[in-house]
Amino acid sequence: MKEHARQARAENRIIGLVPTMGALHRGHLALVHRAKQQCSPVIASLFVNPKQFGPKEDFAKYPRNFESDVEKFSAAGIDSLFAPDPDEMYPPVFHTYVTVEALSDRLEGRSRPGHFRGVTTVVMKLLQIVQPHFAYFGRKDAQQARIIMQMVRDLNLDSEIVVCPIIREADGLALSSRNAYLAADERRAATVLHRALTAAREELSAGVRDTLQLRTVLQRVLNSEPLAAMDYAEIVDADTFEPVARVARPCYVLLAVFFGKTRLIDNLYIEPAGPGAHEDFVYHL
């Protein structure tokens, strides 16, 4: 893989990387499509990273559909697939980890201790191996994307991180490989995530800026679904991921909710509208 990447750079080609853990859905393929608009070659990685799973998490049962994933990547038009074995990425004497402090300690980091250390370590390795000019991530994992951008900036890496929109089902559920875990009744219940975010967006559009009021709306909608068990519902600054009292700058509305044993996340991104716009903010679901 490294030799392939060196050759592409020697030919002044623009390398794009789409990192995945497989179990592909339309969200992953949308990242490939975006990469193909900017890059050639487009390289996808497929690696279920053991370092980002906690001891009680779902590493062993995480969906693995290698042959199907290869077919989907091929149909999407990638140029190369990098699918290393765990022993190749983490040999027995592996002792080095990358940690982005502060940003990694809250929200997902609080709920999943050690998760982001595993994410940043594997992404660093992928960026070093593939040497992409651009690497593509989905906005559904908003905190992850922000942490990776911080790592790239702090360590003066040559790759640019491109964060792409959330891809959703017709009923609003954000696409996720973990959706496959949901039983039929849980799948129906999971649409409450989108309903809660939509309710928050409607409040914001009506002029509500107080985040206590917005969190009350989120909690009311989530509590209306008996199968939903909320982990957190927060409104945070989009740069620091610290809670804010009022929406006055770019922010995220972040949700993490259990449906049975399956934990799903989703978000609404709020950014100031451009000059001449009729609204103060634009809301991205």
Which of the residues are catalytic? Answer: 28
Query: How far is Cα 229 from Cα 257, in angstroms, rounded to an integer?
Result: 6
Type of residue numbered 111: S
- Would you tell me how many other CB atoms lie within 10 Å of the CB of residue 53? 17
If you search the block for the tokens 């006055």, which residue do you land on? 248
Query: How far is Cα 171 from Cα 35, in angstroms, rounded to an integer?
Result: 27
Which of 265, 236, 233 has its CA nearest to residue 250? 236
Return phi, psi of residue 191, to 5°.
-65, -10
If you search the block for the tokens 């990273």, which residue do you land on? 49
Query: How far is Cα 205 from Cα 279, in angstroms, rounded to an integer?
Result: 8
